[in-house]
Amino acid sequence: MAGYFCCQLIPSAGAQSSYQEPDYSKLKPESGPLTLEVWTWVAGLDKAARLFEQAYPDIKVHVNNVGAGSVEYQKVQTAIKAGSGGPDVAQIEYDFLPSFIVTDGLTDLSKYGVNDTKSFFVPWTWGQISPDGKTVYGIPQDSGPMALLYNKKIFDQYGITVPTTWDEFAQQAEKLFQATGGKVKLVDFVPTQAPWFIGLAWANGAELFKAQGDSWTQSLNSPECQKVLDFWVDLIKKKYVATIPDFTPEFYNAVGSGQIAASIEAAWGPGVLAASLNDKTSGEWQVAPLPQWSKGQPFRSGNWGGSCDVVLKQSKFPKAATLFCLWLNAAKGPVLSNWVSYGIFPAALSGLASPDLNQADKNPGKFCGGQNVAQVYVDASKAVNVDFAWSPWFAFVNDDFNKQIAALISGSMTAKQALDAWQEDSLKNATGDGYDVKGK
Amino acid sequence: MRRYRKTAYLFLTPFLTVFIAFYLAPVCYALYLSLFIRKRIGVGPPKEVFGGLANYIRAVQDTDFLNGLKNMFVFGVVQVPIMLGLAILLALLLHQSRGFFMKICRTAFFMPYGIPTAIGALVWGYLYSANLSPFNQILQALHQGKIEFMAPAVVLFSIANIVTWTWTGYNMITLFAALQNIPGDLYEAARVDGAKTWDIVRRIQVPLLWPTLKVLFIFSVIGTSQLFTEAFVLRPLGYLADNITPNLYLYLTAARDANYSYAGALAILLAILVFAISGPFIRRIASR
């Protein structure tokens, strides 16, 4: 099977570098005409699907947004259990992928030779979709290395400097609080998105789950996690940061009306914000590297979100579906159009290296005053710990985080108690579900 | 006689087909599923093995589920009387008054029932957001702080408010129709005997509404046990406990944790509980 997909060099018009793509012709789809059902919440993916239909006229692609994240997962889980009714292709975030792997409902794409396309993708994203290095459960779509998105206009107005360490971050949060009488908060501590917090803990060297043979360890209350949460609890208590649930009208209103001056965002964040704010405050923003714990340390970031595209076992056209997943995430057209305008940060290496990612007149570059946003996130992407793994019971862990943080914010728990309770609840759920898992 | 029975079943067929396919069969399937437990060996998919009543034993020891039931009881004890009380009051007022304005009121009170629950809950979700809520903006303009409608201790009552908003009008219309059925000569006779308005309400209208009220009460109790949509729609807007209602808890057990057999056991237990509570009432009404 070696060399099944040989490299194909396609000279890209207008750019000096060459964009490398796998040779899709090695993957023969079922004979058409056929229609693929694709579930995703990526805005504008239907446009990429039209490009695919032009390249493969026998395959029609029906893009269906059945809800973002958990809303979609619950539908996919139900369809897998029912044995029918699911899509051919579904978007799944890396952190939730193991909970689908254990259902045995996903096609192992390695039988179609996709292992030979491994070299086209960011190494750590391939590790997420192929935990054992052989079986392949999906094709990486995007990743979410984290950085600090800040409103330069507000920073300039109050003389706030861009923090490079978390100590400076806390000082600037206090300064902004004093200068505005608490009306403007430096950032929002996201109380209902466990992966946001986990991304910050990830940047501090935390690893939450480890599979060892047939058993697991889970360490949600490790010192690395506690250091991060302690830091934030202090800022929350002093009211230097907001605690508004993300992805709500309330959050976008607070950001758009200047009540929040900055936001710790994954690579896809600026694009989502630009779209959700309808270009309000467009051009006022800048992206800076994630603050670090100490000045001299090697630069580190974490990851929040990022998805792959999986093919369900119940799909009648698994080869066509695999072809679509591969093409969507490796071909130059969709990879660039997903970033430009929609801010989906590519998992394809050629995509990341492409100078065409930098387009000052289109979002997310336009939202950030023409800055080369992708470059900041490419640097962050290289600073993400590649060994980080998730667990099949993460859906519970994810929701239980909200419970502990609600208790933490209302003052009925300390940071340590909240993390201990998070660890304990999650262990109880996992063992109750038959997993051999120990706390660490 | 036998021939009539055949005809009766013929007429019943359309109902029975749907009833069996979409009601009895799923219940039996849930019952069947609930007898299995999952065994995991290694990292692969779990095996479903026969576990007898293991899921039921787990359920009665599951503090999260039991607290969900407690939420349901608190909700029922607080919300149902308020809603039915309001419905009686509005029905009596509407019955008493005539005119165009009252007709508009009647339609307006009933309207929330015509709005799909999910859409109603979305709008309320907006009204409940800490900073955007017009209620809070008014309070803040008056320097009265703000209400955290989505706070863990408050949110059950925020849901109760949505349910009351939706269903008071429906209950009101039912009671209003029952009032229209009270024969006019009863009122006349009462007036002749010197009864004041309050006496008529107390001695004639409320006693004659009693059978209708009991039916509405049972519907409300069953409705309380099935609370789901409001909580499900509000959930992404903040933190709502998994077990804020038992139905949400068992939905998450199935759809999120993919533990269908345990969810089946929870559903069966919940159904038995609701039967146990509403059964005696239904029997008493039927025996009248």
Residue A68: pLDDT band by 50, 70, 90 thresholds? confident
Write out the residue range of the structural domain in which residue A180 sits.
146-303+386-439
Q: Tokens 């992966």 identify what position?
A: A195
CB contact under 8 A, A81 and B258: yes
Rounded average pLDDT over B156-168:
96
Superfamily assignment of B63-287 in CATH? Answer: MetI-like (1.10.3720.10)
Give pLDDT tens digits for A3-33.
Answer: 344 444 444 444 445 888 999 988 999 997 9
Rounded average pLDDT over A324-331:
95
Residue A64 counted as domain residue: yes
Tell me: do A209 and A290 sit in the same domain: yes
Looking at residue A15, what is its pLDDT?
Answer: 43
B134 CB within 8 Å of a chain A CB:
no
Looking at residue A232, what is its pLDDT?
Answer: 98
- Show the tokens assigned to B121: 């809950």
Tell me: do A106 and A202 sit in the same domain: no
CB contact under 8 A, A405 and B239: yes
Give pLDDT tens digits for A191-232.
Answer: 999 999 999 999 999 999 998 888 899 999 999 999 999 999
Tell me: do A192 and A127 sit in the same domain: no
Tell me: do A63 and A96 sit in the same domain: yes
Residue B153: pLDDT band by 50, 70, 90 thresholds? confident
Looking at residue B42, what is its pLDDT?
Answer: 67
Give pLDDT tens digits for A69-102.
Answer: 888 999 999 999 899 999 999 999 999 999 999 8
Q: Are A21 and A331 in contact (CB under 8 A)?
A: yes
Tell me: do A394 and A250 sit in the same domain: yes
Q: Are B85 and B213 in contact (CB under 8 A)?
A: no
Our count of domains for chain A comes to: 2
Residue A190 counted as domain residue: yes
Tell me: do A336 and A298 sit in the same domain: no
Residue B1: pLDDT band by 50, 70, 90 thresholds? low
| AA letter at B141 | A
Looking at residue B288, what is its pLDDT?
Answer: 59
Distance CA A24, CA A27 (A): 6
Residue B55's φ and ψ, nearest 5 degrees, are -65, -35
Residue A1 counted as domain residue: no
Q: Are A55 and A29 in contact (CB under 8 A)?
A: no
3-state secondary structure A177-196: HHHHCCCCECCECCCCCHHH
Q: Is A33 helix (H, G, I), strand (E, B) or coil?
A: coil
CB contact under 8 A, A77 and B255: yes
Q: Tokens 């804020």 identify what position?
A: B244
Tell me: do A268 and A414 sit in the same domain: yes
Which residues of chain A lie closer than 8 angstroms to B126, CB-CB? 249
Q: Which helix (H) or strand (E) holds A149?
A: strand A146-151
Residue A216 counted as domain residue: yes
Residue A418 has pLDDT above 70, yes or no: yes
Distance CA A339, CA A178 (A): 38
Rounded average pLDDT over A413-431:
95
Tell me: do A135 and A150 sit in the same domain: no
Tell me: do A235 and A336 sit in the same domain: no
Residue B285 has pLDDT above 80, yes or no: no
CB contact under 8 A, B130 and A250: yes
- How does strand A89-93 pair with strand A307-311? antiparallel
Distance CA A212, CA A218 (A): 11
Q: Is B216 helix (H, G, I), strand (E, B) or coil?
A: helix
Q: Are A51 and A37 in contact (CB under 8 A)?
A: no
CATH number, position A137: 3.40.190.10
Considering only CA atoms, which of B41, B62, B72, B24 is closest in space to residue B262? B62
Tell me: do A108 and A215 sit in the same domain: no
- Which residue in chain A has the smallest CA separation from B244? A403
Query: pTM of the predicted model, to two decimals?
Result: 0.89
What are the residue boundaries of the structural domains of chain B, listed by start?
A: 63-287
Measured torsion, CA atoms of residues B268, B236, A217, A121, in degrees rounded to the nearest 10: 120
- Show the tokens assigned to B145: 């702080």
Looking at residue A337, what is its pLDDT?
Answer: 87
Considering only CA atoms, which of A192, A142, A68 is closest in space to residue A377? A142
Which residues of chain A lie closer than 8 angstroms to B38, CB-CB? 433-434
CA-to-CA separations, A181 to A158, A184, A276, A361, B147, in angstroms, rounded: 12, 8, 28, 36, 21
Rounded average pLDDT over A280-292:
96
Give the minimum alpha-carbon distance from A60 to chain B in angstroms, rounded to a whole number: 30
Tell me which of A305-319, A410-424, B51-65, B95-109 is least confident.
B95-109
Tell me: do A159 and A64 sit in the same domain: no
Give me chain A's average pLDDT, please: 91
| AA letter at A257 | S
Whole-number percent of chain B with pLDDT over 70:
97
Whole-number percent of chain A with pLDDT over 90:
75
Tell me: do A219 and A70 sit in the same domain: no
CB contact under 8 A, B242 and A211: no
Residue A373 counted as domain residue: no
What interface predicted TM-score (ipTM) does this complex get? 0.86
Considering only CA atoms, which of A124, A165, A357, A147 is closest in space to residue A266? A147
Give pLDDT tens digits for B58-115.
Answer: 999 999 999 999 999 999 999 999 999 999 999 999 888 878 888 888 889 999 999 9
